[in-house]
Amino acid sequence: MTIIASNLQAVNRAIAQAARTAQRRAESITLLAVSKTFSASAVREAYHAGQRAFGESYLQEALDKIEALRDLPLEWHFIGPIQSNKTRSIAENFAWVHGVDRLKIAERLSAQRPQNLPPLNVCIQVNVSGEDSKSGVAPEETTGLAQDVARLPYLRLRGLMAIPAPVEGLSEQRKPFARLRELMQRLNAQGLELDTLSMGMSYDLKAAILEGATIVRVGTAIFGQRNYGEK
């Protein structure tokens, strides 16, 4: 078995275990393998170990990989910051976009989504930790943005995404995830039909699953340490 295959097995086991603790079905949690900075051949290896959904943050790098892997039935998720001059390529090449935090970006993605493809699945990124360095809409502004995004014809608003500031300890890690879950529950009580909480990475996977994550985004624990210098 390759290192990537055995890492995937370990991550899937950790997801199953956290799901059991949370009294949730493991199938209600999708593992998004974050392949940014790793090669197309690493993605191919993960595919052969059973992985289907992959997350990328850097557009040009992602487009090269998508092209190189056209022969495989992969589901690509864009999880990086979105510049408005990049929306067309994102709308044309991805199934999901996780980091929508402005209406203008959502409008461009909808207008540029090819009509022969299904609607683009989107999550609104929320700044649940409240630090000013992070992207994401403020929690109190999420309702308005969600209502507007939900009306766009070629997008399907699926839920919320967060990248909380790193903290130690399960109970501290759970707090921002709980906030995101409550926010989604509130939006659904107002009539939206959201089914996705994109939250949890390699080090805070368990906390996210205990708070209801439906997509966990895991890079390092599958592919190893990233080396940004070689990019």
Ligand X SMILES: *Cc1c(COP(=O)(O)O)cnc(C)c1O
Cβ proximity to ligand X, 49 vs 218, nearer residue: 218
Q: CA–CA separation, 93 vs 83, rounded Å?
A: 15
> Residue 164, interface with ligand X (CB under 6 A)?
no
> Residue 201, interface with ligand X (CB under 6 A)?
yes
Cβ proximity to ligand X, 111 vs 167, nearer residue: 167
Cβ proximity to ligand X, 139 vs 200, nearer residue: 200
Q: What angle separates helix 40-48 from helix 59-68, to the nearest 10 degrees?
A: 50
Interface region with ligand X, contact rule CB under 6 A, candidates 41-49, 128-136, 186-194, 216-224: 216-224
> Residue 215, interface with ligand X (CB under 6 A)?
no
User: Could you write out the DSSP letters of every residue in 29-92?
Assistant: -EEEEE-TTS-HHHHHHHHHTT--EEEES-HHHHHHHHHHTTTS--EEEE-S---GGGHHHHHH
Pick from 12, 57, 121, 196: which binds ligand X (CB under 6 A)? 57
Pick from 41, 83, 135, 220: which binds ligand X (CB under 6 A)? 220
Per-residue HEC secondary structure of 94-127 comes to: CCEEEEECCHHHHHHHHHHCCCCCCCEEEEEEEC
Residue 112 burial (CB < 10 Å; 0-12/13-18/19+)?
Answer: middle
> Residue 219, interface with ligand X (CB under 6 A)?
yes
Name residues whose C-beta falls within 8 Å of residue 61's C-beta, 6 or more positions apart in sequence.
36, 37, 231
Return the ∠ at Cα 157 (arms to 153 and 160), rounded to 5°.
Answer: 160
> Residue 181, interface with ligand X (CB under 6 A)?
no
Pick from 82, 163, 184, 187: which binds ligand X (CB under 6 A)? 163
> Residue 218, interface with ligand X (CB under 6 A)?
yes
Return the ∠ at Cα 66 (arms to 63 and 72), rounded to 5°.
Answer: 175
> Residue 11, interface with ligand X (CB under 6 A)?
no
**Would residue 37 be called left, alpha or beta, if left means φ above 0 and alpha means ψ between -120 and 50 degrees?**
left
Cβ proximity to ligand X, 79 vs 157, nearer residue: 79
Per-residue binding string, ligand X, 89-128, x by CB under 6 A, is: ----------------------------------------
Closest residue by beta carbon to ligand X: 219
Interface region with ligand X, contact rule CB under 6 A, candidates 113-121, 132-140, 174-182, 219-227: 219-227
> Residue 36, interface with ligand X (CB under 6 A)?
yes
Q: Are strands 96-100 and 30-34 parallel, antiparallel or unpaired?
A: unpaired
> Residue 135, interface with ligand X (CB under 6 A)?
no
Residues forming contacts to ligand X in the complex (CB under 6 A) are 34, 36, 57, 79, 163, 201-202, 217-221
